[in-house]
C-alpha cells in the first residue's frame, strides 16, 4: 500500500461512518430530553441560580470599587490640602526676617529643636527670647510644637 492510501484509512472525515451515526443519536436523545418539561424546568432553575450568583458577585465587586474610589478621593483631597498648606507655608517663610528663616532652616536640619537649642545656636542671652521667637513662628503656622515632659519641641510642618 502507498502512503496516501494508508493515510486515507487512518484518518476518516468526522462527518462519515460510525462517528456520524453516534453523534446523530446523541443529538436525538438530547432533543427528546429538551421536549420534557421537567428537564426544561430544571435547566431554567439552574440558569436562574447562576444568574443570581453572578448578580451577587457583581454587586460585591461594585461595592468594593465604590469603597476604593471613596478612599482614593479622600487621599487625593488630603494630598491637595497638604500641598496647599506647604505652598502657603513656603510663601510665608519667604517673607520672614532673616533670623526667623535661619531658625526654620536650623529646625529643618535637626528635625526638631527646643528653645534652649535655639538660644545656644543663635546666642540669645536668655531662653525666653528664643522661646518667644519659636512661639511666634508656631503662631504663624510655620512650626508645630509638642510638649514632652517639661520640654517643648518644635518641628517644621
- Please give the Cα distance from 138 to 156 (Å, whole number): 9
Looking at residue 1, its pLDDT comes to 46
Cα distances from 63 to residues 40, 46, 53, in angstroms, run 35, 26, 16
Grid coordinates belonging to 99:
533670623
Q: What pTM was computed for the model?
A: 0.43
| Count of residues in the chain | 157
Return the pLDDT at 39. 85
Dihedral over alpha carbons 14, 17, 19, 24 (to 10 degrees): 100
User: Which pLDDT value is given to residue 19?
Assistant: 80
> What crossing angle do the helices spanning 98-110 and 115-122 adopt, rounded to 10°?
120
User: At 126, is the secondary structure helix, strand, or coil?
Assistant: coil
DSSP three-state, residue 145 = strand
pLDDT (tens place) for every residue of the chain, 157 residues total: 445 445 545 655 555 678 888 888 888 888 888 888 888 889 899 999 999 999 999 999 999 999 999 998 888 887 776 666 665 555 565 678 888 889 999 999 999 999 999 999 999 888 899 999 999 999 888 899 999 999 999 998 7
Amino acid at each position: 500500500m502507498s502512503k496516501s492510501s494508508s493515510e486515507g484509512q487512518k484518518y476518516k472525515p468526522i462527518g462519515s461512518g460510525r462517528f456520524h451515526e453516534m453523534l446523530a443519536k446523541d443529538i436525538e436523545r438530547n432533543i427528546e430530553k429538551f421536549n420534557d418539561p421537567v428537564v426544561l424546568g430544571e435547566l431554567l432553575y439552574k440558569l436562574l441560580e447562576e444568574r443570581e450568583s453572578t448578580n451577587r458577585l457583581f454587586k460585591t465587586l461594585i461595592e468594593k470599587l465604590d469603597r476604593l474610589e471613596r478612599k482614593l478621593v479622600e487621599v487625593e483631597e488630603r494630598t491637595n490640602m497638604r500641598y496647599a498648606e506647604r505652598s502657603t507655608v513656603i510663601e510665608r517663610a519667604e517673607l520672614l526676617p532673616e533670623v526667623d528663616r535661619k531658625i526654620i532652616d536650623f529646625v529643618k536640619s535637626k528635625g526638631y529643636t527646643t528653645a534652649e537649642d535655639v538660644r545656644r545656636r543663635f546666642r540669645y542671652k536668655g531662653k525666653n527670647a528664643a522661646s518667644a521667637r519659636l512661639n511666634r513662628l508656631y503662631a504663624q503656622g510655620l512650626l508645630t510644637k509638642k510638649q514632652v515632659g517639661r520640654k517643648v519641641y518644635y518641628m517644621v510642618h
